[in-house]
Structure 1
């Protein structure tokens, strides 16, 4: 019996350890064979004036602000790119203003910046002309007379989470030029006003029908060739993803310092003959990591969110949780209802576990006789105990079954709750934010705690104490040493869990508290 108790403790500790490192280390993208470039006639070195081969002289930047139902977007004529994104749907907790998702992304770090040496060097630094501005469209143009023209047309949709970008390249000369460029889709992603964001920063791409994830780019830049569906950067709550509408050459990943990774797409090399034109189109998703909204761009874009090894369970739990919210209109109540549902599902195992513990209690006198009879022969004792378990149809580890089943559910729910923007700012009773620890202010400052106390973890410790007390009553002991161990664990186990859960999101603690209370009620009911 003491072995079963130790096993349960070890498994519980494993739950906590796993939760501390739930976000798995992304696998580095596999190297793919480098495709050889097609030898296509291109612009000669002396076809453009010398000034276009040099870095452009700095000039006074002109910004253009576009406001939609979803965003406040700041464009710049430097490269005709997007430099700042504010989300009107979400507010910065410190300022109360629209949340800044991208700020001051300029030149080669700007979103939708074109980076190419095939047409002209430093295109992302050059001054584009604003030739059209409407509520639903903005158009930039860069012209090299007698050579080529690049047009960038951004289209906005009133209630959608994406921007549509069209890049048109006109060949104005009398020689063939190449369409060969990189476009940066996601860069500078941050979560100002929201905590725990940067630790989740990750570049994710769908290449050849498989997910590629990384958090650090080797050597500052990495190229991954294949069939490109989309590429993007995501953090705890939000993501930016670029989906090309035409066949592309590769995904390009870049590292700008320690805290900024970027992703983009390399176009397919193609000739643009004299007097010709080519057009590429892209969808740029900007918004929260909500599956229903991500799938509007493409059905598999929800895979940009990394839920870990129990991702399937996480998605199922979130679907159920949102269904309960649609009924109750309160996320706290929805979490409680989800906990009830999970306990109903696992109740047959809980009952089986209780009956197994009861049988163990009933055969305790027989076990004590066998221990005295074979105290000098451990092998014989184990054999006789195994036969006794078989005779009474008892699984000595049966009491661990509910815990084993709760482990993947707990981990999956943890992954889901910490990534769900819906819980950010969601209140329940005294809890102001279910995605963060709950707290109340106290008039004095306590050691290690300060002047704030997290109430839910304390309530959870109390509930776990009663649960442990009830469990130990059904766990017979044969020696004073075992009895002493039970008394120690009666207090140590709840306190240990309370310490670990003290800084967990209150939504997760609410789930565990409700689950513990339900287990106490179930045991009390089955006892009678």
Structure 2
């Protein structure tokens, strides 16, 4: 590694440090954040008082357990006994405590949703156009591991709607009685589930109910979801101002690499007053109280997400992500939960208009909703150059190539050619700048021999700078191309593993470009490497080692720091461990990039005549040269240490 490369890496590090300092809030911003935190605390007290009541209340037994205990009683009139016991335990909802677990299906071109009378909620959500890595249906919501329902108090009894049986309601009377409703194209359907309050010990009140209304369009993943409280003023306790919407889910593994899925899975959310999104930790258990208005909350996995959105905003939420250590369900990934307070008014009816999104993390699909859902996809949103490159360059070109019906291996190849062609002038500039220093190597070595003592280091540096100045060489010129290419390299590092377009797309020996391309599974696990051999990663590592050697041979100026050559060869070996579990499409791209770099270096070496370049530099020495500000400061530093010109 030459001095320019070292300086470039240090400069990149300095940019990140500067970015961190720049992003540090000012005193005014810090005060504003403090005031916001105070507001959050006050809002939490206001919006989550019902949580305290729930925590302090006696847990309600499941309906099935309650019925089992009731029917074990030795009473001459079992039916009356059951009725009285249900009334005592469930109050205004005793008639809905028993029923049939009947399923009603609504589906469109993209998604199938099974709704069950028990809880009136989604029982199972399946995406039609996708399969898991082992060809099973992609299920985003399952009754055994997920739930969504309301909690509130009625007659001082804690009511959880998941324990009660809803009645179906067909908004289109032509569909009345049907258990399977479908819609296609731009058409839509509306279906409701209603939980009625009791009118008496033996009948329901048709004018007093809670309704979950689902609106499904034929060509959308987004589903309308309204929660309505109709005629509930005398049913829900009078002092109730908030009803809690509880949403929990155990996410399922859908991909080959559990490690990659876990690394990209967490709870995302967006405050109503902000455009940026936030999220909980992806690598450890985490929770947070969102006391200010929230626009949406999502349970995001690597390639799929479930989102709950408010048409207006939620007052706040308690969100959490955690990993179970025991009693894990089959195909377990992570657990996520949210408690969302919904405002409630006892006078009149209350309706909360919401939406549910069950679908892929596809950039254009999410962006079309215009609520920043696409910012769940890790495209480098924290560093502007990265996401700008991905959003305005890589994704449009990728989509354009995709429209031609090409295989994704060929698309990556063409994308690599286009990027390397675009970067060729920068690569040429970088090599030419380094070549100037290379042809001056004999003179630099003479300076090194002249100043051998450690106390002469400043003299040696000044003499070297004088040589560069007279020859018209800028030692920093080789660093600028590296800085220009760095955001592109990191942007693509983010793009390929997050691109659902590569999911389950095969190329050569890789059966899935979004996952690792194992050609051999090891019977044991190697620390920092894994239990398999990814061929694209192996080839990429070998090509990187070859490139490192060629780079050292071609661009060596004799100014390498001790041990840096060894470090340059250690880095590709580290890449072997890092990329072995990453998307094979990423390793394939880096392999292609190295191969095209070899070709570019071969072309550049034959277009730059080092003898003519040296003659040009010798001619420059004869010309009068004005000292730059940097050179003047360097000489001043030397003079301060006793160096005489």
TM-score normalized by the length of structure 2: 0.67
- 1:83 CA drift (Å): 3.1
> Does the CA-based 8 Å contact 2:133-2:504 persist in structure 1?
no
Distance 1:174 1:78, change over 3 A: closer
Residue 357 of structure 2 corresponds to: 285
Residue 346 of structure 2 corresponds to: 272
Moved more, 210-219 or 288-297: 210-219
Distance 1:402 1:436, change over 3 A: farther
> Does the CA-based 8 Å contact 1:182-1:265 persist in structure 2?
yes
Secondary structure of the corresponding residue to residue 121 of structure 1: strand
Residue 327 of structure 1 corresponds to: 404
> Does the CA-based 8 Å contact 1:232-1:240 persist in structure 2?
yes
Residue 45 of structure 1 corresponds to: none
- 1:291 CA drift (Å): 2.1
Secondary structure of the corresponding residue to residue 551 of structure 2: helix
Matches within 5 A, 1:68-107: 68-94=108-134, 96-105=135-144
Structure 2 residue 497 is the aligned partner of structure 1 residue 418: yes
- 1:347 CA drift (Å): 2.2
Secondary structure of the corresponding residue to residue 89 of structure 1: strand
Secondary structure of the corresponding residue to residue 214 of structure 2: strand
RMSD of equivalent CA atoms = 4.0
- 1:60 CA drift (Å): 7.1
Residues in 1 aligned to 2:584 and 2:190: alpha-carbon distance in whole angstroms: 43
> Does the CA-based 8 Å contact 1:217-1:261 persist in structure 2?
no
Q: Deviations over 1:111-153 (max 9, x none)?
A: 3x12233786232333222323561443221122358411112
> Does the CA-based 8 Å contact 1:100-1:191 persist in structure 2?
no
- 1:222 CA drift (Å): 4.4
Secondary structure of the corresponding residue to residue 128 of structure 2: strand
Residue 263 of structure 1 corresponds to: 338
Higher helix fraction: Structure 1 or Structure 2? 2
Residues in 1 aligned to 2:564 and 2:197: alpha-carbon distance in whole angstroms: 83
Residues in 2 aligned to 1:409 and 1:205: alpha-carbon distance in whole angstroms: 28
- 1:355 CA drift (Å): 0.7
Distance 1:190 1:314, change over 3 A: farther
Distance 1:217 1:126, change over 3 A: farther
Match of 2:296 among 210, 230, 236: 230
Secondary structure of the corresponding residue to residue 155 of structure 1: strand
> Does the CA-based 8 Å contact 2:270-2:296 persist in structure 1?
yes
Secondary structure of the corresponding residue to residue 279 of structure 2: strand
Distance 1:218 1:470, change over 3 A: closer
Residues in 2 aligned to 1:30 and 1:522: alpha-carbon distance in whole angstroms: 55
Secondary structure of the corresponding residue to residue 504 of structure 2: coil
Structure 2 residue 405 is the aligned partner of structure 1 residue 369: no
Matches within 5 A, 1:345-364: 345-364=422-441
Matches within 5 A, 1:106-255: 109-111=146-148, 113-117=149-153, 121-132=158-169, 133=179, 135=181, 136-146=189-199, 148-171=208-231, 177=238, 178=240, 180-184=242-246, 187-195=249-257, 196-207=260-271, 208-209=273-274, 210-215=276-281, 222-255=288-321
> Does the CA-based 8 Å contact 2:255-2:261 persist in structure 1?
no
Match of 1:382 among 461, 464, 472: 461
TM-score normalized by the length of structure 1: 0.81
Residue 19 of structure 1 corresponds to: none
- 1:257 CA drift (Å): 5.8
- Number of aligned residue pairs: 497
- 1:185 CA drift (Å): 5.3
Residue 64 of structure 1 corresponds to: 103
Residues in 1 aligned to 2:285 and 2:591: alpha-carbon distance in whole angstroms: 47
Matches within 5 A, 1:392-471: 392-440=471-519, 453-471=533-551
> Does the CA-based 8 Å contact 1:251-1:266 persist in structure 2?
yes
- 1:416 CA drift (Å): 1.9
Distance 1:358 1:257, change over 3 A: closer
Residues in 2 aligned to 1:81 and 1:192: alpha-carbon distance in whole angstroms: 23
Residues in 2 aligned to 1:221 and 1:451: alpha-carbon distance in whole angstroms: 33
> Does the CA-based 8 Å contact 1:231-1:242 persist in structure 2?
yes
- 1:104 CA drift (Å): 2.8
- 1:482 CA drift (Å): 8.2
- Structure 2: give runs of 5+ residues left out of the alignment: 15-32, 48-85, 170-178, 182-188, 200-204, 325-333, 607-645
Moved more, 292-301 or 53-62: 53-62
Moved more, 166-175 or 374-383: 166-175
Distance 1:117 1:342, change over 3 A: farther
Match of 2:377 among 305, 308, 319: 305
Secondary structure of the corresponding residue to residue 589 of structure 2: helix
Residues in 1 aligned to 2:132 and 2:283: alpha-carbon distance in whole angstroms: 30
Distance 1:409 1:185, change over 3 A: farther
- Structure 1: give runs of 5+ residues left out of the alignment: 15-26, 39-47
Residues in 2 aligned to 1:416 and 1:293: alpha-carbon distance in whole angstroms: 16
